[in-house]
Chains A and B, each alone.
Chain A
């Protein structure tokens, strides 16, 4: 659990982060959204003390971070940044092994962990371990960056626009991979992004910041249906609010008994996918399948009732 309490950062006369209080539950993903200059990155960097707070306190599992040596604190917290920040003179394997080595893990354990992570991120260890970062594609570099951040099995992972430099296709894949790894290891993730779409997709909770202040801290559903200020509403954009809401729920939860014509949709698809398919094929209901078995249907009426604030 990360407890951020009335944290403030002031440079000379400008207040970059102003009295922000957030509690992040263990094993959840907190997405911090804001425009550039909103203070979101400074907030993130205060968690691992790359920036020292002017006032306020941050506690990790009850322990005040200001009582720990900054470098020791950082070794316990994974940190992944935009443009990956890989060490260009060290091989992929050495890059990933950075924190384990700093923590004094023995060689065997470190090597095993590097192999495990490379496999987890679908990079063949035999092929990639000894390559230099510049010999990798952008997507691969980004994966190695996240692998390095996770190497010492931290409970907390901080990510600063980690997917910012990726093209949309690789970006979507990277987001999916991150979510599946997060579910598998129950890592608490704090992710900074300027992209509301990404925040809605990844975050269990979203913190919206503007000019150093926390405007709203709530679940994606609440942010979309009850934006706290006009600025939050503007960030979400009114044009596709219904679709954003639909994208948050899975078909499985709204299956009705019965059958329908045409190709089925998978139970794991989002309501948005189902809605798109209904419109595209001009049907009023879709059959729903689970592992190839038809288990019911989902209707246009059902979907439209979920596309507005409940």
Chain B
């Protein structure tokens, strides 16, 4: 087994232990507290918050994937080419609009809670997936797309049997980027009362408790690294399986 994998397994084990029995780590975090503050987050279950955090990210990224991939497929078909600039700017706006601003705008309409956070993460996640799907579909080897037409595949057969399978690793790279960005960005959802790990960080900031801030930050950070790595490994495996070992991931 390679050392990289061992390190990741250990990191995962420590994370799991911390989420299930956080009090084990009280002595470590105790070093960061002052004036007898609690060392471990005590306003709710860390495990619950983590699950909720992941669920929000998963929901937002799935929705973004569905919309962004469909949009990219649409604008790479001959009948949809004229929508390419429009959909590009839409995805760009989603990315440039700060999530905090989306939250501020969405709260009056959707109220406090999870909904505005989902909207912000969804908009923020569109662009990387859209751009990567576009790259994946447009940069297929020309001889392959040509052959797919030449053997008499219909457009749907070409899309589902040739183009999407070959573009999948590149699309997945976009999803990976989006997921990791969402994991971090989801924490600000707690400012509008979404139940994410942001709660732990905010609780720490308001009570001037460095231990809380660090706990929230570390859980998000380790989760992001682990998820990033697993998705990257999945991409490499897909690349090899689809016979594209030499094609670099975008």
* A102-B157, A134-B245 known; A85+B152 contact, CB < 8 A: no
Closest to A131 in B: B243
**What's the nearest-Cβ distance from chain B to residue A306, in Å?**
41
8 Å CB contact of A87 from B148, B149, B152, B245: B148
Contact assessment for B147 and A86 in the assembled complex, using a CB-CB cutoff below 8 Å: yes
Closest to A85 in B: B147
Contact assessment for B166 and A85 in the assembled complex, using a CB-CB cutoff below 8 Å: no
* A88 within 8 Å of B (CB atoms): yes
Contact assessment for B243 and A85 in the assembled complex, using a CB-CB cutoff below 8 Å: no
* B24 within 8 Å of A (CB atoms): no
8 Å CB contact of A98 from B151, B154, B241: B151
* A250 within 8 Å of B (CB atoms): no
- A15 vs B49: C-alpha distance in the bound complex, in angstroms? 67
Contact assessment for B152 and A71 in the assembled complex, using a CB-CB cutoff below 8 Å: yes
What residues on A are CB-neighbors of B148 within 8 Å? Answer: 87
**What's the nearest-Cβ distance from chain A to residue B246, in Å?**
8
Per-residue interface assignment for chain A, residues 169 to 188, with 1 indicating a CB less than 8 Å from any chain B CB and 0 otherwise: 00000000000000000000
- A33 vs B148: C-alpha distance in the bound complex, in angstroms? 25
* A79 within 8 Å of B (CB atoms): yes
Contact assessment for B149 and A99 in the assembled complex, using a CB-CB cutoff below 8 Å: no
What residues on B are CB-neighbors of A81 within 8 Å? Answer: 143, 146-147, 150
What residues on A are CB-neighbors of B242 within 8 Å? Answer: 88-89
Per-residue interface assignment for chain B, residues 120 to 158, with 1 indicating a CB less than 8 Å from any chain A CB and 0 otherwise: 000000000000000000000101101111111110010
Q: Which residues of chain A from 120 to 144 have any CB-CB distance to chain B below 8 Å in the complex?
A: 132-134
* A9 within 8 Å of B (CB atoms): no
- A61 vs B146: C-alpha distance in the bound complex, in angstroms? 25
**What's the nearest-Cβ distance from chain B to residue A144, in Å?**
11
Contact assessment for A88 and B144 in the assembled complex, using a CB-CB cutoff below 8 Å: yes
Closest to A165 in B: B143
A-B contact count (CB 8 A): 64
Contact assessment for A133 and B151 in the assembled complex, using a CB-CB cutoff below 8 Å: no
Closest to B148 in A: A87
* B244 within 8 Å of A (CB atoms): yes
Per-residue interface assignment for chain A, residues 69 to 93, with 1 indicating a CB less than 8 Å from any chain B CB and 0 otherwise: 0011111100101111111110000
* B22 within 8 Å of A (CB atoms): no
* B204 within 8 Å of A (CB atoms): no
What residues on A are CB-neighbors of B153 within 8 Å? Answer: 71, 102
* A50-B150, A79-B150 known; A84+B243 contact, CB < 8 A: no
- A50 vs B150: C-alpha distance in the bound complex, in angstroms? 7
Contact assessment for B245 and A85 in the assembled complex, using a CB-CB cutoff below 8 Å: no
* B165 within 8 Å of A (CB atoms): yes
Contact assessment for B243 and A75 in the assembled complex, using a CB-CB cutoff below 8 Å: no
Contact assessment for B162 and A87 in the assembled complex, using a CB-CB cutoff below 8 Å: yes
**What's the nearest-Cβ distance from chain B to residue A299, in Å?**
49
Contact assessment for B151 and A83 in the assembled complex, using a CB-CB cutoff below 8 Å: no
What residues on A are CB-neighbors of B157 within 8 Å? Answer: 102
- A72 vs B242: C-alpha distance in the bound complex, in angstroms? 27
* A81-B146, A84-B143 known; A89+B151 contact, CB < 8 A: no
Contact assessment for B152 and A75 in the assembled complex, using a CB-CB cutoff below 8 Å: yes
- A87 vs B162: C-alpha distance in the bound complex, in angstroms? 7
* A38 within 8 Å of B (CB atoms): no
**What's the nearest-Cβ distance from chain B to residue A95, in Å?**
9
Per-residue interface assignment for chain A, residues 33 to 73, with 1 indicating a CB less than 8 Å from any chain B CB and 0 otherwise: 00000000000000010100000000000000000000111
**What's the nearest-Cβ distance from chain A to residue B85, in Å?**
22
Most buried by B among A86, A88, A133: A88
- A86 vs B150: C-alpha distance in the bound complex, in angstroms? 11
Contact assessment for B152 and A89 in the assembled complex, using a CB-CB cutoff below 8 Å: no
Contact assessment for B149 and A50 in the assembled complex, using a CB-CB cutoff below 8 Å: yes
* A148 within 8 Å of B (CB atoms): yes
**What's the nearest-Cβ distance from chain B to residue A179, in Å?**
22
**What's the nearest-Cβ distance from chain A to residue B197, in Å?**
39
**What's the nearest-Cβ distance from chain B to residue A100, in Å?**
10
A-B contact pairs, 19 of them (CB 8 A): A50-B150, A71-B152, A71-B153, A72-B152, A74-B150, A75-B151, A75-B152, A76-B152, A79-B151, A81-B147, A84-B147, A85-B143, A88-B242, A88-B243, A89-B241, A98-B151, A102-B153, A145-B147, A148-B151
Interface, chain A (partner B; CB < 8 A): 48, 50, 71-76, 79, 81-89, 98-99, 102, 132-134, 145, 148
Closest 4 CB pairs of A and B: A85-B147, A74-B152, A75-B152, A89-B242
